Structure 1
Amino acid sequence: MKKWKKDIIINVPIEFAWPYFYGDLEKKKAIFPKIIDEEVLKETHEVEGTIIRQAYKNGSIDESYDLTIKKFINEPNHKLVQEAFILNNMFRMKVDYELNSVDENQTRFTYRSVNRPRNPLLSLFQLFGKDDVIIRFMNRTKTNIEEAYNSNGVEQDVIVTSGENEVAQEK
């Protein structure tokens, strides 16, 4: 099992950032470029328990998986969607996309995931897993959401934090 947790400040209001994680497929594609389509298979009134078939492009192959929304919070200053799915028929994934309002123009985005291999041998390979893919995702998310929000196109520094460690990357 591998766990990840990363935080980043996005310089937009929380309500602007939220549709990129839940509810607007076109905005979601801006931060998840491999997603092709989503189809709701089962919808619940509480959102938790909703099942969505998500189609994505993996190289030249179109694939899909069913994700279940396990947790859902949509409050003015705190938003969270937790998705569970099986990736490539090899990994049980649980992913949290959490947004907390820092102030009226800044949102803290926290990414958490737990990756459980379905085959015990895959656990050995996870020991060597690095967080490069997650850092690229966090930076792409920050950049794409801020660019959509800022019409003046001013670039800003990107800082990804993990606990007490900080990794600053310049554009």
Structure 2
Amino acid sequence: MKKWKKEIRINVPIEFAWTYFYGDVEKKKKVFPKIVGEEFTEQTERVIGSVILQTYQNGSLTEQYEITIKKYVDEQNYKMIQESFLLNDRFRMTIDYELLREDHTTTKFIYTSINKPKNPLFSIFQLFGSDEVVVNFMNRTKETIESAYKTTAN
């Protein structure tokens, strides 16, 4: 099992940032450019337990994942969604996207990813994994959301 946890400050209000993680697939595509579509296959009233079929374009390969929402919080000062899915039939991925309101114009974004291999032999390969992909994702997310906010604020 491999776990990454990173945080970054985004200079936008929490409500503005939240739409990039839940609720607006067009905004979500800006943070996750490989997503080409999402549709609920099961939708619960409380959101928790909902299942989303997410389609990714990875080069010439189109992949689909069934994402289950395990946790969901949408409060004024704290928002969080936890998604779980099976990656390439090899790893159980559990990802948390957390947003904390620091003030009216600043949001702390916390990303946590746990990758658990279905086959214990894959654990060996995880020993050599770096956090470069996560750091790049965090920086790209910050830049994307802040840039979009600047264009709407003017």
Shared topology, TM-score over 0.5? yes
- How many angstroms apart in 2 are the aligned matches of 1:104 and 1:71? 25
Gaps of 5+ in 1: 153-171
Q: Name the structure 1 match of 2:46.
A: 46
- Letter in structure 1 aligned against 2:11: N
Q: Name the structure 2 match of 1:107.
A: 107
- How many angstroms apart in 1 are the aligned matches of 2:151 and 2:16? 14
- How many angstroms apart in 2 are the aligned matches of 1:151 and 1:138? 20
Question: Within 5 A, what are the aligned runs for 1:1-171?
Answer: 1-151=1-151
SS where residue 85 of structure 1 aligns? Answer: strand
Which 4+ runs in 1 deviate beyond 2 A?
none
- Letter in structure 1 aligned against 2:43: E
Gaps of 5+ in 2: none
Q: Which stretch has the larger CA shift, 114-123 or 135-144?
A: 114-123
Q: Percent identity?
A: 59
SS where residue 20 of structure 1 aligns? Answer: coil
Q: Give the Å deviation of 1:58.
A: 1.5
Q: Give the Å deviation of 1:151.
A: 2.8
